[in-house]
Amino acid sequence: MIERLAVIGVGLIGGSLARALRRRGLVGEIVGCGRSEANLARAVELDVIDRYETDPGTAVRGADCVVIAVTLGATGEILARIASAIEATAVVTDVGSAKRCVVDAAASALGSNYRRFVAGHPIAGTEQSGVDASFPELFEGHRVILTPVAETDHTAIESVTCMWEGVDALVTTMDVDHHDEVLAATSHLPHMLAYTLVDCLAAHGDCGEIFEYAAGGFRDFTRIASSSPEMWCDIAIANRSALLAIAARFEAAFRDLQAALADGDEQKMVDRFRRAKQARDAFQAKASQ
């Protein structure tokens, strides 16, 4: 049970977590904080939060749990602004899609409170944003990856685990840099590829016709290009080094495939497609177990 929760950034993720905890009676008071007072007033109106503060330092005072749910680019500044105001027993966590940058910022900003900072990443979301898009079921059955470090307090890890499990998320822990590599591969790179493909086609020729004749695969492939441009730029910048590494590997493999196609090397092409199909089918079989 959280006595007072401070949610910094009451958007899709922060708002959904507040709604989910409240619905289950897992929280006493919820204090919101954010840059847009209109959004905060709306959050009160929707009963997502009880009240709000516009200063992060004021918002976290008296809170036993602080959830930072702002963009990755703003997380460092928030950590610096709340550092001196955090209660000595409060647990602090975040929800960012990249973790190395957040952990490093927390280490340099939080001082003695760093031990009670547990970096987290709920693998959940929609293409919408803002408190109006939030809903209490968002995390149910979804994974939340926590990336504690050697110094992290075990009680703090337990508290954050307990919070997420309380809203029916599946919590696992992972090494910070490993998290960033895995997410670069499975989420950040696919978004970059989808944006690039759609932009590349849209920039050239009769875009309407291209889309009109699109088959199923293309529709699936490009749906993720409807996500927030600002948010995905923020994520890509925050996870730049892991993303550039996997992007380079992808580019080399794609160049290799183009060379095989140019050479008419069907054996090489079929071998690669088969390996991919096997990996994908194995995943599918496992997922449907």
- Determine if 250 is a binding residue for a second copy (CB under 8 A): yes
Q: Which is nearer to a second copy, 30 or 119 (CB)?
A: 119
- Determine if 245 is a binding residue for a second copy (CB under 8 A): no
Binding segment for a second copy (CB under 8 A), chosen from 9-17, 88-96, 158-166, 248-256, is 248-256
- Determine if 23 is a binding residue for a second copy (CB under 8 A): no
- Determine if 190 is a binding residue for a second copy (CB under 8 A): yes
- Determine if 195 is a binding residue for a second copy (CB under 8 A): yes
| CA distance linking residue 62 with residue 203, whole number of Å | 52
Q: Which is nearer to a second copy, 23 or 275 (CB)?
A: 275
| Residue 239 CB, nearest approach to a second copy (Å) | 10
Member of 194, 242, 288, 289 binding a second copy (CB under 8 A): 194
Binding segment for a second copy (CB under 8 A), chosen from 60-68, 76-84, 107-115, 241-249, is 241-249
| Residue 164 CB, nearest approach to a second copy (Å) | 15
Residues binding a second copy: number (CB under 8 A): 88
Q: Which is nearer to a second copy, 45 or 165 (CB)?
A: 165
Looking at residues 203 to 222 of the shown chain, list those that interact with a second copy (rule: CB under 8 A). 203-205, 207-218, 220-222
- Determine if 202 is a binding residue for a second copy (CB under 8 A): yes
| Strand ranges of the sheet holding 65-68, from the earlier edge strand across to the other edge | 51-53, 27-33, 2-8, 65-68, 91-94, 117-118
Pick from 73, 69, 117, 77: nearest CA to 240: 73
Q: Which is nearer to a second copy, 89 or 172 (CB)?
A: 172
Looking at residues 130 to 169 of the shown chain, list those that interact with a second copy (rule: CB under 8 A). 143, 145
Pick from 3, 66, 67, 9: nearest CA to 40: 9
| Residue 202 CB, nearest approach to a second copy (Å) | 4
| CA distance linking residue 200 with residue 189, whole number of Å | 16
| CA distance linking residue 106 with residue 101, whole number of Å | 9
Binding segment for a second copy (CB under 8 A), chosen from 38-46, 81-89, 153-161, 244-252, is 244-252
- Determine if 175 is a binding residue for a second copy (CB under 8 A): no
| CA distance linking residue 108 with residue 197, whole number of Å | 39
Give me the phi and psi of 185, to 5 degrees please: -70, -45
Q: Other C-beta atoms within 10 Å of 94: how many?
A: 26
CA 97 to each of CA 94, 205, 222: distance values in angstroms, whole numbers, following the listed order: 9, 35, 20
| CA distance linking residue 167 with residue 19, whole number of Å | 10
Placement of tokens 């932009």 in the chain? 199
Pick from 5, 115, 152, 1: nearest CA to 64: 5
| Residue 25 CB, nearest approach to a second copy (Å) | 29
Looking at residues 72 to 131 of the shown chain, list those that interact with a second copy (rule: CB under 8 A). 123
Question: What DSSP string describes 18-58?
Answer: HHHHHHTT-EEEEEEE-S-HHHHHHHHHTTS-SEEESSHHH
Q: Which is nearer to a second copy, 26 or 74 (CB)?
A: 74
